[in-house]
């Protein structure tokens, strides 16, 4: 089930990314928020790589090429973390005043870098394959610590972006329905990502403690939510741009409401 599901998800993400690149404003200097475009491109690349690395033969091939068991799982942790970081960077102009955007971006990147550095350090002590890490470590404390660090980061970040995109979708509706739809789809993808990381967190703790855990969680819930999360996030992010629904009115006064409306539009543009 895993191989065709994640392969199809990766293919659809690639198609959504290609559609975004075709319909994105050209040249780049016409874009009101270049940072949002860069973050969106990184997000699409990270979502594609994450879905692709979840394909069991791909993760096993990464292990073989690098000569280190678990390398595919480490690369997945880096790409999935980069994806969810990019989701927050796309929306940073909404949550922060203009003067604080750069500081917020730096803070997000530093936090992400610290977590990834910890994962790389923990990875040195792992002696398990990617397949074993993706299922659940059985009694291996080093592997369990690695997975819980990775999944804990995803849990916290998924909660944050789910709330952010839900609130943004509500703010954009009904004035920009297509933008609101894209934000809502992204929020659904974030919730699915939270379901994926939470299920894997529960599996890891259960296996480590020797508790019984329903097999349906590992065989159906984890792969389905993981594949759909990456797909929904990518489609939701690219939908407003592809639909060409973002219009920036000119000559409006810079009231608090106007600033928020402008932030929503910038978020929806590449």
Q: What is the pLDDT of residues 22-62, one digit of tens each?
A: 777 655 554 556 677 788 889 999 999 999 998 889 999 99
Dist CA 50 CA 54 (whole Å): 6
Dist CA 70 CA 74 (whole Å): 6
Handedness of CA 179, 153, 103, 40 (dihedral sign): negative
Query: Quick one: pLDDT at residue 150?
Result: 94
Whether residue 179 is predicted with pLDDT greater than 60 in this model: the reply is: yes
- Cα dist. 139→26, 130, 132, 154, 203 in Å? 53, 16, 11, 22, 12
In the chain, what is the straight-line distance between the N-terminal and C-terminal CA atoms, in Å? 34
Q: How confident is the model at residue 247 (pLDDT cuts 50, 70, 90)?
A: very low
DSSP 153-166: HHHHHHHHHHHHHH
Query: Quick one: pLDDT at residue 248?
Result: 38
Q: What count of residues does the chain have?
A: 270
**Percentage, residues of the chain above pLDDT 90:** 37
The alpha carbon torsion through 182, 185, 191, 193 (nearest 10 deg) reads: -90
DSSP state of 77: H
Query: Quick one: pLDDT at residue 3?
Result: 79
**Which two tokens mark 105?**
């971006």
- Cα dist. 103→33, 112, 179 in Å? 16, 14, 27
Predicted structure pTM score: 0.83
Dist CA 197 CA 72 (whole Å): 17
């Amino acid at each position: 089930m895993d191989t065709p599901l994640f392969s199809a998800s990766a293919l659809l993400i690639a198609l959504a990314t290609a559609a975004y690149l075709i319909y994105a404003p050209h040249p780049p200097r016409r874009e009101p928020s270049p940072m949002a475009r860069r973050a969106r491109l990184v997000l699409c690349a990270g979502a594609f790589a994450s879905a692709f690395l979840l394909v069991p033969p791909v993760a096993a091939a990464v292990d073989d090429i690098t000569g280190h068991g678990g390398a595919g799982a480490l690369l997945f942790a880096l790409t999935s973390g980069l994806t969810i970081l990019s989701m927050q960077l796309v929306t940073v102009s909404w949550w922060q005043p203009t003067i604080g955007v750069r500081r917020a971006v730096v803070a997000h990147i530093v936090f992400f870098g610290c977590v990834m550095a910890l994962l790389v350090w923990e990875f040195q002590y792992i002696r398990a394959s990617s397949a074993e890490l993706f299922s659940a470590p059985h009694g291996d404390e080093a592997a369990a610590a690695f997975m819980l660090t990775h999944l804990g980061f995803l849990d916290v970040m998924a909660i944050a972006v789910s709330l952010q995109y839900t609130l943004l979708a509500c703010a954009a509706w009904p004035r920009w329905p297509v933008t609101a739809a894209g934000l809502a789809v992204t929020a659904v993808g974030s919730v699915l990502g939270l379901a994926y990381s939470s299920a894997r967190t529960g599996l890891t703790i259960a296996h480590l403690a020797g508790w019984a855990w329903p097999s349906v969680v590992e065989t159906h819930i984890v792969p389905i939510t993981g594949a759909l999360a990456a797909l929904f996030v990518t489609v939701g992010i690219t939908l407003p741009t592809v639909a060409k629904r973002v219009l920036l009115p000119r000559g409006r006064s810079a009231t608090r409401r106007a600033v928020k409306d402008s932030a929503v539009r910038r978020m929806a543009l590449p």
